[in-house]
Amino acid sequence: MISFILQHAPALCLATPLLFAFLTPLADKAGSRVRKAFVFLGILLTALTVFTLAQNVILQGARVYTMGASSPALTLPSGMTLPVRIILEIDAFSALMASLALLVAFFAVVYSFRFMKGNSLGKFYSLFFVMLAGLIGLVFTGDLFTLFVFFEILSISSVALVAYWYKRKKSVEAAFKYLLISSVASLCLLFSIGLLYGEYGLLNIAALAASMRLSFVTMVALGLLLAAFSMKAGAAPMHYWLPDAYGEAPTPITVMLGIATLSSLYALLRVLFTLFGSFSLLPVAGWVLICLGVVSMFVGVTMALKQDDIKRLIAYTAVSQAGFIFVGVGVGLATINSPALFSAFGENALKGGLFHLVNHGIYEALLFFSAGAVIYATGKRRLSSLSGLARKMPFTTVFFLVGAMAIAGIPPMNGFASKILIYESVYRFNPLLTVLALVVSVLTAVPFVKAFSSAFLGPEMAEFKKTKEVPMGMLLGMAVLAVIAVLFGLLPGLVVETIIAPAVNALASQAAYVGVVL
Amino acid sequence: MSGLSKIVKNVASVFIVPGLIFGAYVVAHGHLTPGGGFQGGTIIATTLALLLVAFGEKSFRKAIGKNALAMLESLALFGFIGIAFLGLQSSFFNNFLSNSGSLFGQSVQFGVNEGNINSAGVIPLMNFMVGIEVASGLTIIVIAMYSGWGERK
Amino acid sequence: MELIPFLGAALLFGIGLFALVFKRNLIKIAMGLSIIDSGVNLFLIALGYRSNGIAPIFTTAPVSNAQAAATMVLPAPQALTLTSIVIGLAVSALMLSLAVLLFKHYGSADARKIRGLRE
Amino acid sequence: MKQAIKLIFFLVFSLFLLASVFTLRPFGAPKHHEMDSYFLENGQRETASNNIVTSIVFDYRGLDTLGEATVLFSAVSGVALLFRGALK
């Protein structure tokens, strides 16, 4: 049984959330208790499968799964040198992303049991599972067109969830913007898939990577892919949908949107490092990423300074933190063609970027959870109308503080560990970038000092007399994420060695990715 | 809203049966002729939309329940993914029925032929499931945009 | 002459993009998106065409067995286009629903008047 | 000013698309068709389906179709969610 599950784990990881998504509307008919138990079972099963697979992949190397073949390992049909079926390919980087997504999604579900009220929750959870399947499919697929399909699944389900509170004007408006941006992004993606198909007659990422040549059409395809994914990853010029969608979505969905944004970043990296990994023009793409990153860092942090809405404030700082990831990864990409530079500092920059990606996923979720707890307890989201909550909600206060320290890069937290890795390696590439990053990091602390002092410190207001700490279910997720944030900060070496380094190796060695399929 | 005029109602009732049969035909012959679950499902949904517009919402809902549509959609998708699961003996989405001799299991040699409906393995079954899903799903969209999906006041 | 379908696809993409960038009406924006979608679908379908090809369906096909594989147009882009058409349908259904709701909330379909998020 | 930026963005983007289309291979003569030839030659025997497009949609690329059905499902759920309030 175990070996059967392990053998089919890649397909099961995808199929389980879809199965539960389709059945949740039926379970909903049996009442809210049945629905809760059903949803919990679904997320638990998915999480177990994904963690088992991820552990297997990190220990034993990349896995492939051929959909519909007579055996999952049979990537090439007899007599062919090219794959014809859809192939799922899971390497250490995909496993890392999927585990991060499931960690956050699990606690988002537990959180939502108390947070979400209303009578359309069957559809809510059904869409939640669809979104989860989209995330897993996006990071697991080894086929460009399947990537597009799961990209669309992810964006359509998350648009519907952003507009969940359809009676609020702003939610619908944010959902419209988000849908517009994601549709344009996915149509750009589809057009570039068409260009690549016209040029090479292939759809599999590994097979395409092996036959890639430099030509104008390929360059345009690269440009379109870069535009599409960086649009969805919330990079600076097209970031404006992000705070709207994050701010207006129900909090469990905001957290999932954070992961969705990171998985668009995953797709971008997958495309740049793996699909175009043999290009001599990669340093240019690396510099594009660095520029996007620097602009995002500054735009995000300056906009965050003047926000009054607690969730929008966190969302803008999330834009600026994504900039750090872009810079770290961009430096890695810019040096990947010269082995000497890459082993000197490029690899460390890439490690820093990916480590920051994981840390960002964790502390961002923590911050949104605690902001959601404040909104849940008080019903208010404007910082100017909040005050003195520290005594009423001590746990939430501590968790928010942990998250704020992590995002500002203050020592014992995980944000510091990954930022220091980025600073060190980027300094050897270009000192100016490190200076800019340091300035932004210091600036990031300012909005959080403001938010913390105005919401949690200060005089207690009469209207919050009856405010209580949020229920256990909501605190649980925050507690676990806060512990992880501190642990990652205290043991950065161990974490980088065990989970980040395999992901970096998987990303940097295109030949290994191609070799598993061909 | 009790529907349009008598002429429209009569014309619609003339069209409804051929429309549904044509949709079912397109779904069933997806593996032999151009068409399949999506196309046939869309034809069925179009016919139902005609019914909705001609007879008005009240009589339509009397004939086709809201819950039934939603259940049908979920069940059809469950059937679709269930068929995919049944292939797990070899791999997910494996066409375990084709060339097996059982239901839809007659094998076909390469080349032009007349077409045998009892072939193609799981493909007709999946077409059937997708046909139901698309028909009910699009009908839900049409109803929701026509008169809302909530409880009526 | 050789290029007309590809050119048409790129032009449809451009027209749709023009509507997205310069039009203010929500319905027109949704239309622009649908036009881009059609352009991309046309592009995909055009990629699979072979001159004087026939549809890749063997049921009473007007071709001999030996010639079949060389005369039929490429089937993969057609499958991709089927998928992409349904996805486009889903996107436009959702987008039009959002536009209807926005019109109800703000009493206008003009994107300039819908600015609850830009205080 | 804003209009000018938009116009420049639009023109540059469209020009890139047009240029890429012009440099693409000629219409009607696919250069690489190994994958599609495999479908045409073996699809009928392997899946026993006369319609090769259907055999790709449901067999070779079945996951895409599941994804597509899921997209439709989530759009339907989304529309039903958005219009769950009584309209009148």
Low-confidence ranges of chain C (pLDDT < 50): none
Is residue B121 in some structural domain? Answer: yes
The residues, any chain, with a CB within 8 Å of residue D25's CB and separated by 6 or more, are A198, A199, D31
Q: Which of A263-272, A451-460, A466-475, B105-114 has the lowest mean pLDDT?
A: B105-114
Q: Inter-chain contact D20–A157, Cβ cutoff 8 Å?
A: no
Is residue B23 in some structural domain? Answer: yes
**Domain residues for B34?**
6-147
Is residue D87 in some structural domain? Answer: no
The terminus-to-terminus CA distance of chain B in angstroms comes to 15
- C57 in reach of chain D (CB within 8 A): yes
Please tell me which of the candidates D35, D74, D78 has its beta carbon nearest to residue A201. D35
Of the candidates B40, B120, B21, which has an alpha carbon nearest to the alpha carbon of residue D47? B120
Question: How far is the C-alpha of D61 from the C-alpha of D59, rounded, in Å?
Answer: 6
- For A61: left if phi > 0, alpha if psi spans -120 to 50, otherwise beta; the answer is left
pLDDT band at A41 (very low <50, low <70, confident <90, very high): very high
Report the pLDDT value the prediction gives residue A131, as an integer from 0 to 100: 93
Task: Express as a percent the part of chain A with pLDDT over 90.
Answer: 24
> Which residue is associated with the tokens 């090769």?
D52
With beta carbons under 8 A apart, name residues in chain A contacting D47. none
Is residue B1 in some structural domain? Answer: no
With beta carbons under 8 A apart, name residues in chain B contacting D76. 73, 137-138, 140-141
Is residue C119 in some structural domain? Answer: no
Q: Inter-chain contact D19–A166, Cβ cutoff 8 Å?
A: no
Structural tokens at position B5: 């005029």
Question: How far is the C-alpha of A321 from the C-alpha of C48, rounded, in Å?
Answer: 43
Interval A336-378: pLDDT, tens: 888 888 788 888 888 888 999 999 999 999 999 999 988 888 8
Report the pLDDT value the prediction gives residue C119, as an integer from 0 to 100: 54
Mean model confidence pLDDT for chain C: 86
Total number of domains in chain D: 1
In angstroms, the separation between the Cα of residue A417 and the nearest Cα of chain D is: 39
Question: How far is the C-alpha of A214 from the C-alpha of A279, rounded, in Å?
Answer: 7
Is residue D15 in some structural domain? Answer: yes
- Neighbouring C-beta atoms of residue B12, cutoff 10 Å: 19
Boundaries of every domain in chain A:
280-518
- D44 in reach of chain B (CB within 8 A): yes
Q: State the DSSP H helix or E strand holding residue A436, giving kind and residue range, or none if neither.
A: helix A431-455
**Domain residues for D71?**
2-82
- Neighbouring C-beta atoms of residue A378, cutoff 10 Å: 20
Instruction: Write the single-letter amino acid at A424.
Output: E
- For B104: left if phi > 0, alpha if psi spans -120 to 50, otherwise beta; the answer is left
Q: Inter-chain contact A71–B91, Cβ cutoff 8 Å?
A: yes
Q: Are D55 and B120 in contact (CB under 8 A)?
A: yes
Backbone angles phi, psi at A86, to 5 degrees: -70, 130
- B117 in reach of chain C (CB within 8 A): no
pLDDT band at D70 (very low <50, low <70, confident <90, very high): very high
In angstroms, the separation between the Cα of residue D52 and the nearest Cα of chain C is: 6
Mean model confidence pLDDT for chain A: 87
Mean pLDDT over D23-44 rounds to 83
Question: How far is the C-alpha of D79 from the C-alpha of A289, rounded, in Å?
Answer: 37
Structural tokens at position B147: 């008169």
Number of CB pairs, chain B paired with chain D, less than 8 A apart: 133
Report the pLDDT value the prediction gives residue C1, as an integer from 0 to 100: 58
Interval A200-238: pLDDT, tens: 888 889 888 888 888 888 888 888 999 899 888 888 788
With beta carbons under 8 A apart, name residues in chain B contacting C61. 112
Backbone angles phi, psi at A87, to 5 degrees: -120, 130
Q: State the DSSP H helix or E strand holding residue A331, giving kind and residue range, or none if neither.
A: helix A310-334
Q: From the candidates C41, C45, C91, which should be mutated to test the interface with A, based on the most A CB atoms within 10 A?
A: C91
Report the pLDDT value the prediction gives residue D34, as an integer from 0 to 100: 82
In angstroms, the separation between the Cα of residue B59 and the nearest Cα of chain C is: 24
Q: Inter-chain contact A164–D81, Cβ cutoff 8 Å?
A: yes
Q: Inter-chain contact A68–D59, Cβ cutoff 8 Å?
A: yes
Q: Are A464 and A378 in contact (CB under 8 A)?
A: yes
Total number of domains in chain C: 1
Interval B16-36: pLDDT, tens: 899 999 999 999 888 888 888
Alpha-carbon Rg for chain C, nearest whole angstrom, is: 20
Is residue B152 in some structural domain? Answer: no
Question: How far is the C-alpha of A466 from the C-alpha of A456, rounded, in Å?
Answer: 15
- C67 in reach of chain D (CB within 8 A): no
Mean pLDDT over A235-254 rounds to 87
Please tell me which of the candidates B81, B108, B150 has its beta carbon nearest to residue D50. B108
In angstroms, the separation between the Cα of residue D6 and the nearest Cα of chain C is: 7
In angstroms, the separation between the Cα of residue C70 and the nearest Cα of chain A is: 16
Question: How far is the C-alpha of A30 from the C-alpha of A60, rounded, in Å?
Answer: 43
Of the candidates A62, A134, A71, A206, which has an alpha carbon nearest to the alpha carbon of residue B92? A71
CATH of the domain at C93: 1.10.287
Mean pLDDT over A71-79 rounds to 79
* CA torsion through residues A387, A476, A485, A51, sign: negative
Helices (H), A68-143: 92-115, 121-140
With beta carbons under 8 A apart, name residues in chain C contacting B34. 55, 57
ipTM associated with this complex: 0.93
Cα within 13 Å of Cα(A102), Cβ side: 28
Please tell me which of the candidates C7, C53, C57 has its beta carbon nearest to residue D52. C57
> Which residue is associated with the tokens 């599609």?
D36
Q: Inter-chain contact B113–C58, Cβ cutoff 8 Å?
A: yes
With beta carbons under 8 A apart, name residues in chain C contacting B114. 59-60
Interval B37-65: pLDDT, tens: 889 999 999 999 988 888 888 888 888 88
In angstroms, the separation between the Cα of residue A24 and the nearest Cα of chain B is: 9
Mean model confidence pLDDT for chain D: 85
Q: Are A310 and A381 in contact (CB under 8 A)?
A: yes
For B130, which residue in chain C has the nearest alpha carbon? C86
- pTM of this structure: 0.93
Alpha-carbon Rg for chain D, nearest whole angstrom, is: 22
Please tell me which of the candidates D17, D57, D79 has its beta carbon nearest to residue C94. D79
pLDDT band at B153 (very low <50, low <70, confident <90, very high): very low
Residue A462: pLDDT over 80: no
**Domain residues for C94?**
4-57+65-106
- B78 in reach of chain A (CB within 8 A): yes
Report the pLDDT value the prediction gives residue B151, as an integer from 0 to 100: 56
